[in-house]
Amino acid sequence: MIETDLLVVGSGAAGFSAALAGSHAGLDVLMVEKEPQFGGTTCYSAGVIWIPGNRHGRALGIADSAENALAYLQAEAGNRLNRELADAFLGTCNEAVEFLERETHVRYAAVPVWADYHPGKPGAAQGGRSLLPEPFDGRRLGRRFGELRPPLATMMAFGGMMLGRGDLPHIFNMTHSARSLAHVAGMVVRYAVDRVSHKRGTRLANGNALIAAMALSAQERGIELKLECPVVELTTDGGRVTGAIVSDHGTRREIRTRRGVVLACGGFPANGELRERYYGHVRAGAQHRSAPPAGNVGDGIRLGESAGGALAEDVAYAAAWTPMSLVPQPGGGTLPFPHFVDRGKPGFIAISPTGQRFTNEAASYHDFVPAMIEVCRGAAQTFCWLLCDRRAIRRYGMGAIGPAPMPLGGHLRSGYLIEGRSWSELAGKLGIDPETLVATFERFNGSAVQGKDPDFGKGTDAYHRFNGDPNHGPNPCLAPLVDGPFYAMKLVPGDIGTFLGLSVDGQARVLDRARKPIAGLYAAGNDMTSVMGGTYPGAGITIGPALTFGYIAARHAASGRDGSSD
């Protein structure tokens, strides 16, 4: 038997936040992870956190407040907003992030023009709330670098070079700016040197940078992280969770906890039964592609329910949606590529399977997918086409295809990219009536040349423009598609994680069906229900609360207060 103060189940942002906060509060902490690699879904993410009123924004002169953020969340979630969770998040998020930046290797930077996703709503910010993790040198992890989960393979260049959000402007401008060319060249040289001794690049960005910084900090504090060590069941005594039974590389062991167990297993994106229960389109026979790791099958939810925990089912959406293209792989099969950025660039439009535009391409990825599902309602398949002209694809790339000078030939041969010398030829290859597609192009182009989109308003708010091209006018998101050949890429619905999870209170304690806390049991990250009520207000609304409630759970456990009585 192993004894510890705090057992953390999972090794994503929420798990590491709980472990680090608990250790700094004086607890003996043990982390267990079922996979042979650590980092979970966070390693696939941009690592961005949504933190209203943060110190980085204040340093840039950006005015913000918890009151404004609460007004925005109320406008977004309506009566689905759990005020206790919202107040706990807004009241603690800055404390949690400042703790991590002060006591660990985690470092964040503000993006002053990264607006909330619906910047016209009351309380929304035009920038500054979303913080981006700074790059991290993976070599600092030593031997554990090989155990860090890599990002999605489709999100790396040359088979192993990470591209951070801050690198993208340089990549788009490398054929137009000497400074950008030097930046990209430096990345490529660093990557080439890395590959002499590593399986992938060690210049880490996005969620990989965040997890690596947290893992190094945990390593330095002596926090043990056991890999390939799934939790089989929780142990209880008189209604209190007292620990867990784990399978440590196949050996059954009991872990007894003095202060509690934190569930941070990443939600249920790969659980077929729960997908069918909570996704209407899955019940109707349709499917979507999930980007998170295949091991995220709802272990935390299963464990929480086994101890009496209840699910908070009243959410706007059970998952965080994003459109995906499916990249053919040399050995067969496909891997998903999430389309976060390219849809907002000038020279791109999205059309339904019958050839008409159906939504604002620059809208958030979470908004784009429901529009796709709606336009395909009743059809045999749910998908759309993302279209662009030669100028746009060579300037910005498309999906997993980089901008010039990256070649297009292999993607055309694999069928990932479809080319037509004219609009009519492209229509024929897509199985669309040519007259319909030509009419769509002509209507769009006639207004786009003036920087206008009377049909869907692309480029009319700060979030749209953030994903556009600031050097393109009069509208950074709009350009006519006139420079053939023309290109198409098939997009399908996808998710990047789940929003529906265990019911918790403001101390991150799991609640039973009577809304009473279960002593000794906490949940954070995607194992707890979305603070935002299943809405997606801005970049980082998953990892920001994950860090915050991991911190809250550990601090409450360290306080020594009995979880069932306060």
CA distance linking residue 270 with residue 286, whole number of Å: 15
pLDDT for residue 379: 87
Within a 13 Å sphere around the CA of 222, how many CA atoms are in the beta-carbon half?
Answer: 5
CB 335 within 8 Å of CB 154: yes
CB 338 within 8 Å of CB 496: yes
pLDDT tens, 131-171? Answer: 999 999 999 999 999 999 999 989 888 888 888 878 888 88
| Domain spanning 1-154+207-318+499-560: CATH superfamily | FAD/NAD(P)-binding domain (3.50.50.60)
CB 269 within 8 Å of CB 296: yes
Among the residue ranges 71-85, 122-136, 160-174, the one predicted with the least confidence is 160-174
Of the pLDDT bands very low, low, confident and very high (cuts 50, 70, 90), residue 423 is: very high
φ and ψ at residue 260, rounded to 5 degrees:
155, 175
CB within 8 Å of 54: residues ≥ 6 apart:
64, 93, 94, 97, 108, 110, 128, 129, 131
CB 310 within 8 Å of CB 344: no
How far does CA 425 lie from the centroid of its chain?
Answer: 37
CB 558 within 8 Å of CB 19: no
State the DSSP H helix or E strand holding residue 272, giving kind and residue range, or none if neither: helix 272-278
Q: What is the DSSP string of 456-503?
A: T-TT-SHHHHHTS-TTS-S-TT-----SSSEEEEEEEEEEEEE--EE-
Whether residue 150 is preceded by a cis peptide bond, meaning omega within 30 degrees of 0, is no
Domain ranges of the chain: 1-154+207-318+499-560, 320-495
Within a 13 Å sphere around the CA of 13, how many CA atoms are in the beta-carbon half?
Answer: 32
How wide is the angle at C-alpha 58 spanned by C-alphas 55 and 63, nearest 5°? 130
> Does residue 280 surpass a pLDDT of 90?
no
In whole angstroms, how far apart are CA 349 and each of 2, 362, 384, 393?
57, 9, 10, 12
Q: Please compute the mean of the pLDDT values over residues 350-369 and round it to a whole number.
A: 97
How far does CA 374 lie from the centroid of its chain?
Answer: 23
Tokens matching residue 7:
């057992």
In whole angstroms, how far apart are CA 169 and each of 160, 190, 287, 392, 469?
20, 19, 34, 15, 9
Q: Is 489 left (phi over 0), alpha (psi -120 to 50) or beta?
A: beta
* Domain 320-495 fold: Flavocytochrome C3; Chain A, domain 1 (3.90.700)
Tell me what percent of the residues of the chain surpass a pLDDT of 90.
86
pLDDT for residue 562: 55
CB within 8 Å of 149: residues ≥ 6 apart:
35, 37, 38, 39, 40, 43, 44, 208, 211, 293
CB 516 within 8 Å of CB 471: no
State the DSSP H helix or E strand holding residue 389, giving kind and residue range, or none if neither: strand 384-389
Extended beta strands in 213-314, E state: 224-226, 231-237, 240-248, 251-263, 289-290, 311-312
Whether residue 470 is preceded by a cis peptide bond, meaning omega within 30 degrees of 0, is no
pLDDT for residue 549: 98
Beta bridge partners of residue 325, listed in sequence order? 337
Of the pLDDT bands very low, low, confident and very high (cuts 50, 70, 90), residue 565 is: very low
Tokens matching residue 464:
């749209």
For residue 324, give the 3-state DSSP assignment. Answer: strand
Smallest CA-to-CA distance from 487 within 304, 369, 351, 289 is with 351
Q: Please compute the mean of the pLDDT values over residues 278-294 and round it to a whole number.
A: 89
Start-to-end CA distance of the chain, whole Å, equals 30
In whole angstroms, how far apart are CA 388 and each of 395, 412, 418, 476?
11, 14, 11, 15
Smallest CA-to-CA distance from 361 within 304, 444, 450 is with 444
CA distance linking residue 510 with residue 307, whole number of Å: 9
Give 118's DSSP letter.
S
State the DSSP H helix or E strand holding residue 31, giving kind and residue range, or none if neither: strand 29-32
Of the pLDDT bands very low, low, confident and very high (cuts 50, 70, 90), residue 564 is: very low
pLDDT for residue 163: 85
pLDDT for residue 485: 97
State the alpha helices, DSSP H only, in 108-241: 168-173, 178-197, 206-220
pLDDT tens, 187-199? Answer: 888 888 888 888 9
Tell me what percent of the residues of the chain surpass a pLDDT of 70.
99
> Does residue 331 surpass a pLDDT of 90?
no
Whether residue 405 is preceded by a cis peptide bond, meaning omega within 30 degrees of 0, is yes
pLDDT for residue 186: 87
CB within 8 Å of 144: residues ≥ 6 apart:
215, 219
CA distance linking residue 298 with residue 498, whole number of Å: 10
